[in-house]
A and B are shown apart, each in its own frame.
Chain A
Amino acid sequence: MKRAAGSVAGRNGSDSTYSSEASGGDMAEHLAQTQVNRSALAWMFVAQGLTLLPLFFYLPKWLPFLWAAAVILRVQVFRGVWGFPSSTVKALLGAVGVGGLYLSFNRFLGIEPMVAFLVLAFTLKLVEVKSRNDLLLVLYIGFVAIAAQLIFNQTLWLSFYGVACTLVLLAALQSLFQHRHLRWRRQLKHSLVILLQAIPVMLLLFITMPRLGQIWSVPLIQEQAKMGFSEDMSPGDLANLARNNAIAFRVSFNEGDIPAPQNRYWRGLVLDAFDGRKWERKQRWYPIINGARSSSQLHPDWRLNNLEPEQRYDYSVMLEPHGYSWLFTLMPAVKVESQALRTLFTNNYLLLATERVTARSYYKVQSLQRYSVSTEQLSVDERDVQLALPKVGNPGSRRLVADWQAQNLSAEAIVNRALAMFGDDFTYTLQPPTLGVDSIDEFLFESQRGFCEHFASAFTFLMRAAGIPARVVVGYQGGEYKTGSEHLVVRQSDAHAWAEIWLEGRGWIRVDPTAAVAPARIERGFSESLNASDSDLVRVGADAGFAGMWVYRMQSRIEQWDYLWHKTVLSWDNEKKSQTLQRLLGSLDPWRTALFFIGSLFGLLGLYFLMGLALRSRPRLALETQLLNRAKARLSSRGFISNPSETPRAFAARVKSEFPQLGTQFDDIVSSYERVAYRAQPQAIALLRRRVAKFRP
């Protein structure tokens, strides 16, 4: 539709043939509630759907259906098919919803029921949205729903998604306060401009605002899917994990050395009780936690006053939530710091969190490079625990050990005999045959094929049978070093089991029987150590062909971004803030920070103001007017300047009187211009464009 310059649009758009957008206003009574129009309602549905979508994954499965029903109900109300539900119906819906939540959770406290309650309120409010203020309330709840998403999941992608939701919520908000109707793309564009202008200010706030500690304690996520190995180990458990490419944790080394690949043993759990098939913990958790030491001081067992950088490994672990309370460290951790977790040392030199890990957590560890533990005699009780075996079962293995003992071998010699036996005849494979009742015997003498848990289990059994205190340790071994961002990525497929034995005079030492079978597993990592048929099972890396390679690279890039996101944004704290400000401003004086903040803020706002001025200086003309002006500009080079009071037609006549040919050409341009501008023939724009292009006076 033509938008003529200077047209007068009458009140209530009575003259609106001239302009599609001008509006002289409508009358409203003082307390009139603005009714909700169609586009605002549509925006609300979209915004609400987007903000709720990630939450549905964490909440009872019937909530999405409730939401869909509410949308349908509201649409039918809008179409006039149904009336607004009565207050009895609404109360009933609310009661059913709350009852459903109670049935689903069996409790009301905790973060999941609370978020579910928010979602329920959000959904039911939809049904009774009548006025602009109702809609506004829904949109405000939308912002809180984004925060709820971020409680459950703080990855880079979900954070981006949160920003996208904010964008849509802004568009919805804007459509409420805009009278003219915009196409959805333009509406989004308008909101995007606001969002983009807000982001630099947000970064400024993010950098300069101090972080406070928890003001009061809040319920944490309780239902976290368990990841990684469980509290006990049976044959086949870790082999299942080998197919899992998810990241278990990431480690960055702050200063000093990085352990060589064959020394990267991340201890998680010590299993010291064997029932003939399964290894598990002797003690329940409670006494373990009760007897544990706080990890914020240097561990007293090591009698250290301070740690030189060359004596220690100094590293930070970013642990993915695994739903258990154990944490991973290099042996032996002597000091641990963490903001989010309360950590303890157990008497096995393991690190434990007091709560189960339900969110990505960050902890800084110092471990000794060289150590020896429990070099003195073990206590009788502990010796009994570490030697305990079932009374019966696995007679073959016991005979083998008796054989070795009969040869009067030393403890070291027995260890070497066992490792040599593994190295000679055994195969390291992901697809071991299933084992029966006497699992150790079957493995040692029949199948001779196994994964790390088979070797660790059999080795520990043999040692105990030989009277050498021994235990199984479960954790991760290795890790892929990312040179770009200088950190190690440890995946679930790196899950590993090995043994620790106690030798007189040397204390507890680590022995990894898998290293005797498949040295490549330990030195070059899990995926390198597999034969062809095993590789097909796990399909990682280069073996998977070009497409697989590309996917692998893409995945590794994404993981790297996610890691950077966590390192820079998620773990941002006052310390990092101070470091950044120190780097930016030279010192940490409060006045410098204040000046930086105020200066940048007003600088940015001034910039936006100037951008607004720059935009105002050139109002956009209609396309046909631009084309006509171009033709006029070309005429002006021949000395023809049109008067402001002159119509294009009169101007053309004036040109024609001096240069008939030129005038005729220009006249044609004017007539096609008039067709577009005044005769509502928009298709003539193509003709106008051609004529102007050819017009070369």
Chain B
Amino acid sequence: MDPASKMSKPSGVSGFFSALFDPLFSALRLRAEVRFFRWVDKHTPADNRHLLTRKKLYIFPSWRGIGFIGVVLLLWLLGTNYQNNPILGLSFLLTSILVVAILRTHANLSGLDITYVGAGQAHAGSEVDFHFKLTSSSGRFVENLEAKWQRSEQRLIHIDVPPAEMVTISVPLFAPQRGWLKPGRLLLESHFPLGILRCWTWLVWDAQALIYPRLVETDKPSQGGGEGEDEGFHPLRGGDDFSGLREFRAGDSLKHIAWKVYARERGLYVKEFGQNLSRELWLSLDLLPTSDLEEGLSMLSYLAVALHREDEFYGLRLPGVTLAPNRGEDHKRKVLEHLALFGLGDSVS
């Protein structure tokens, strides 16, 4: 992904110069960026609705625009050297087009109304969508926008907002870890109409997405000791439904050995199968074949999702948190929210 990594190492004189100047330039650039974003943050406070006005929009020639300026200069040179007024006129015409394009590019974004709608659900290690509603309050057709989070490489392109219509966009952001994810600054930019200018804005949102723990596959814990036995239904052995694990005893069928658990060197267990139509399972850290908290939470999330998919009753028992067994979408969300925020100091809203 990183273009710099693909380039071969420069050699010779240019290598010497780039070795000399590159750190200097990148340091200068970093400084400028830090100052710029400090300024941006001061002028556009976080909000969940932004109307793009002059104050929030920045405009500058794009790389293509710099090429265009090069063409203008070339034509000017040709016209001057040939003492040819029509060619000079053409170069002046292109200059004026550049000037008019400033207005047009700015007008394309100006008056766009963006409202934060909400964030999607996601587990750590995947992308979460942030949803926005776009309307054009200027009565103009807002053409070909691009949107991306500052921290993301993923770019949403080809956004068109007709006048008097509302368009919903979903801008994805990679979620590295569980807990509340603040998306940072949203870049919204447009090169319309001629591509020679880039008009953009950095918007800070009063938004956050709850990121559930990463999903780590695990086997369902056996409902061995603890309160689970008192509250849940006892499984009838010999059925088809997987009900849990128990320690290997001599005489157990080799077919029922939980090889995956064995492979993790956690001991020899046997899968038990039951037949009850509704059972309750307790999700708890101490039933898991791990002692790492994050891994445990990830496994519990996996189990919660798996059990939800099987439409089972399950409860959550974490230090300080107990959710009675239940099932359904809402219950899953609650369970995952507790898992996401466990130990982070934030409370579930």
A binding-site residues for B, Cβ under 8 Å = 3, 5-11, 19, 21-32, 34, 133, 136, 140, 143-144, 146-147, 150-151, 154, 159, 162-163, 166, 170, 173-174, 176-180, 190, 194-195, 197-202, 205-206, 209, 211-218, 339-340, 569-572, 601, 605, 608-609, 612, 615-620
The answer, among B74, B81, B94, for a CB contact under 8 Å with A214, is: B81
- Chain A residues whose C-beta falls within 8 Å of the C-beta of B165 in the assembled complex: 3, 5-7, 9, 19, 22
Shortest CB-to-CB span from A553 to chain B, Å, is 27
The answer, among A25, A133, A170, A199, for a CB contact under 8 Å with B156, is: A25
**B172 and A27: CB pair below 8 A?**
yes
**A143 and B89: CB pair below 8 A?**
no
**B80 and A198: CB pair below 8 A?**
no
Per-position binary interface string of chain B over residues 31-69, scored 1 when its CB falls under 8 Å from any chain A CB and 0 otherwise: 000000000000000000000000000000000100110
Give the CA-CA distance A31 to B2 in the complex, in Å. Answer: 9
Task: Report if B3 contacts A (CB, 8 A).
Answer: yes
- Chain B residues whose C-beta falls within 8 Å of the C-beta of A11 in the assembled complex: 168-170
Shortest CB-to-CB span from A146 to chain B, Å, is 6
Shortest CB-to-CB span from B236 to chain A, Å, is 46
CB contact under 8 A between A24 and B170, given known A179-B158, A205-B96:
yes
The contact sample of 8 A-B pairs, CB cut-off 8 A, is A23-B159, A25-B158, A140-B68, A143-B94, A166-B94, A195-B97, A209-B88, A214-B81
- Chain B residues whose C-beta falls within 8 Å of the C-beta of A212 in the assembled complex: 80
**B107 and A201: CB pair below 8 A?**
no
- Chain B residues whose C-beta falls within 8 Å of the C-beta of A619 in the assembled complex: 139, 163-164
Give the CA-CA distance A522 to B266 in the complex, in Å. Answer: 121
**A8 and B168: CB pair below 8 A?**
yes
B binding-site residues for A, Cβ under 8 Å = 1, 3, 64, 67-68, 71, 74-75, 77-90, 92-97, 99-101, 103-104, 107, 111, 133, 138-141, 143-147, 153-170, 172, 191-195
Nearest chain B residue, comparing its CB with the CB of A163: B93
**B83 and A179: CB pair below 8 A?**
no
**A29 and B104: CB pair below 8 A?**
no
- Chain A residues whose C-beta falls within 8 Å of the C-beta of B81 in the assembled complex: 214-218
- Chain B residues whose C-beta falls within 8 Å of the C-beta of A201 in the assembled complex: 95-96, 99-100
**B99 and A136: CB pair below 8 A?**
no
Shortest CB-to-CB span from A663 to chain B, Å, is 29
- Chain B residues whose C-beta falls within 8 Å of the C-beta of A572 in the assembled complex: 85
Give the CA-CA distance A146 to B71 in the complex, in Å. Answer: 12
- Chain A residues whose C-beta falls within 8 Å of the C-beta of B82 in the assembled complex: 151, 218
Give the CA-CA distance A460 to B315 in the complex, in Å. Answer: 126
- Chain B residues whose C-beta falls within 8 Å of the C-beta of A616 in the assembled complex: 111, 138-140
CB contact under 8 A between A143 and B90, given known A6-B166, A177-B144:
yes
The answer, among B100, B141, B193, for a CB contact under 8 Å with A198, is: B100
Give the CA-CA distance A29 to B3 in the complex, in Å. Answer: 12
Shortest CB-to-CB span from B122 to chain A, Å, is 15
The answer, among A26, A144, A146, A340, for a CB contact under 8 Å with B158, is: A26
- Chain A residues whose C-beta falls within 8 Å of the C-beta of B78 in the assembled complex: 144, 147, 151
**B160 and A205: CB pair below 8 A?**
no
- Chain A residues whose C-beta falls within 8 Å of the C-beta of B155 in the assembled complex: 27-30, 32
**A608 and B157: CB pair below 8 A?**
no
- Chain B residues whose C-beta falls within 8 Å of the C-beta of A26 in the assembled complex: 156-158
Give the CA-CA distance A339 to B195 in the complex, in Å. Answer: 39
**A25 and B85: CB pair below 8 A?**
no
**B88 and A10: CB pair below 8 A?**
no
